[in-house]
Amino acid sequence: MAAPSKRSALASAPAPVALAVADLQVDAAIQPRATLTAHVINEYATLYREAADHEPLPPLDVFQVEGVYYLTDGFHRAAAAQQAQRETVLCRVYQGTRQDAIRQAALANLKRGLPYSEGDRGRVLERLLQDPEMGQHSDRQLAADLGLSHMTVYRARQRLAHIATLTQELEAQPTTAATPAAQRHEQLAAFLAVPVEQVALLAKHRAVESTEVVRDIARTMADRGQSAAAAKQQEARYLASRAERQAREDGQRPPRPRETAADRATRRADAERENRYYYLQHFLGMFAELTPSTPTAAEAAAGEEPYNPDYSPAELIEAAESYAGAKHYDWVPDDIVKALQQAYHVLDAFKAACVAQGWLVPF
């Protein structure tokens, strides 16, 4: 008989046992939420105080890893039990690895309990993508589990890949500094091609951190489609601006080169190109959300399924017409037809531009 999988083993919940509240460990690497909700803790604490002879709330879930009880589900309840000064609380104790605990904590509140905030959901997504088991799931499968767009999952996967590559590049920068802090400053300065004095000044005020810089660059690359070089230049300009502002606040007056007419024209041209690029990305993104997609041969071999939008065009029109009627808005079908005609003209123009560039347009 085959051994049960980790998933099936975790699905069979053990019988609750009483554990000391003081023994429950809250680990930031396991906790999915950035913060807990105070009024929820207060409500739960009241229930714990008023229930002298029974447990008013469901048992907590903990993982025993090397003799330590790590909380994976019930962080609000644990905080409430501590606030109510309860000595023990009922818990379901699972056996497994630290990675099992991270996975269970991430999945705990997806279908029940207090909903995740947008930031918490993004944090859960990144943890699942880095999980050896869950990370193998397709973008669309994870999107369905988390209630997100498959493009959001795709960008998060890209962002993590960029973070890994950029971190290696940052750590490979040569340094001759004497102290670990100075070495980090020197490496970050070389990584961004900025003066090390700017990095040291911001670090002195705790206004720069290498890991956050890497995450910002990776986010720009994944969300905006920029190259690593362009994203690093953007971050370098931002860092230089902050360093100048900080220097002024410190009473210094660093010399600032005067912008020539040619520099100003170049800057404006770059900004215009960037604006047009984002406009095109937004335009294409709107159509991607409404258009069914067919997996490529490689995606199909990897288990990808065709993507179908949540609503058909007919359902969107019916819902819009119903909403307009309920709100007493003007609903003129001719305007919709004209807008669609304009969209088709724009798409035809894009197709012609692609063909002119020598791109293969298979439609």
pLDDT in single tens digits along all 363 residues of the chain: 333 344 434 456 789 999 999 999 998 888 888 788 889 999 999 999 888 777 899 999 999 998 899 999 999 999 999 999 988 999 999 998 888 898 888 887 665 566 667 777 778 888 888 888 888 888 888 888 777 788 888 888 999 999 999 999 999 999 999 999 999 999 999 999 999 999 999 999 998 999 999 999 999 998 888 899 999 999 999 999 999 888 888 886 655 667 788 888 888 888 888 888 888 877 777 777 777 777 777 777 777 777 777 778 888 888 888 888 887 777 788 888 888 888 888 888 888 988 998 888 877
**Phi and psi dihedrals of 253, rounded to 5?**
-135, 80
- Whole domain around residue 51: which residue ranges? 12-124
**Do both 120 and 17 map to the same domain?**
yes
The pLDDT assigned to 6 comes to 40
Which of 252, 277, 312 is the last residue before a domain boundary?
A: 252
Q: Exposed, middle or buried, 259 (CB in 10 Å: 0-12/13-18/19+)?
A: exposed
**Do both 118 and 178 map to the same domain?**
no
Q: How far is the C-alpha of 132 from the C-alpha of 99, rounded, in Å? A: 9
The pLDDT assigned to 4 comes to 38
pLDDT in tens, 99-122: 889 888 888 766 556 666 777 777
The pLDDT assigned to 163 comes to 94
Query: Is residue 39 situated within a structural domain?
Result: yes
Give whole-number Cα distances, 267 to 224, 226, 259, 260, 272, in Å. 19, 17, 10, 11, 9
**Do both 107 and 16 map to the same domain?**
yes
The pLDDT assigned to 270 comes to 87
The one-letter amino acid at 320: A
Query: Is residue 307 situated within a structural domain?
Result: no
The pLDDT assigned to 114 comes to 66
User: How many structural domains are present in the chain?
Assistant: 3
Give whole-number Cα distances, 48 to 22, 87, 131, 141, 167, in Å. 16, 11, 35, 38, 46
The pLDDT assigned to 29 comes to 85
What totals of helices (H) and strands (E) does the chain contain, helices first?
15, 5
**Do both 111 and 177 map to the same domain?**
no
In sequence order, what are the beta bridge partners of 70? Answer: 25, 63
